[in-house]
Amino acid sequence: MWRAAANDGARTDLHDNLLFLPNAWRADRLTGTHSVTIKRNEREALICLHRDQEQRDRLILAQMTERKDLQTRARTIRDRHKIERQHLAKTIATYLKRPKPNISGPDQALRRRNRSPGLNFDR
């Protein structure tokens, strides 16, 4: 009976000591699963690396396509505004070059009669 208690105590001590051993000497090293775990982690890391690279490439391609579309739209708008400015400049030039209307007749006389002498600030 005392041997069973001693064996249980030894097993408990061994288990407690394994928990306090450095990471390199824990149970996976003792059971032989350490190298399997390392290889699995490396394989998963490589898969994640490739996945992330593909995702980054897709994102960059989508952004480049979107930028190209935006540049095309911006160029179209700039061209349309240029044409509108040219048309506006022609309209203004035509307006400025036209002769001043010669107001004569009853309207001109009416304007002169309604004017008061001096400055008028009531506009």
- pTM beyond 0.95: no
Phi and psi at 103, nearest 5°, equal -90, 115
Choose among 105, 99, 25: nearest CA to 14: 25
Q: What is the 3-state secondary structure (H, E, C) of 76-105?
A: HHHHHHHHHHHHHHHHHHHHHHCCCCCCCC
How far separated are the first and last CA of the chain, in Å rounded? Answer: 122
pLDDT in the model for residue 99: 84
Choose among 24, 3, 27, 6: nearest CA to 15: 27
In the three-class reduction of DSSP (H, G, I as helix; E, B as strand; rest coil), residue 99 is classed as coil
pLDDT tens digits for the chain (123 residues)?
545 555 555 555 655 555 555 555 567 767 778 889 899 999 999 999 999 999 999 999 999 999 999 999 999 999 999 999 999 999 999 999 988 776 665 566 556 555 566 566 565
Domain boundaries, the chain: 16-96
Residue type at position 93: A
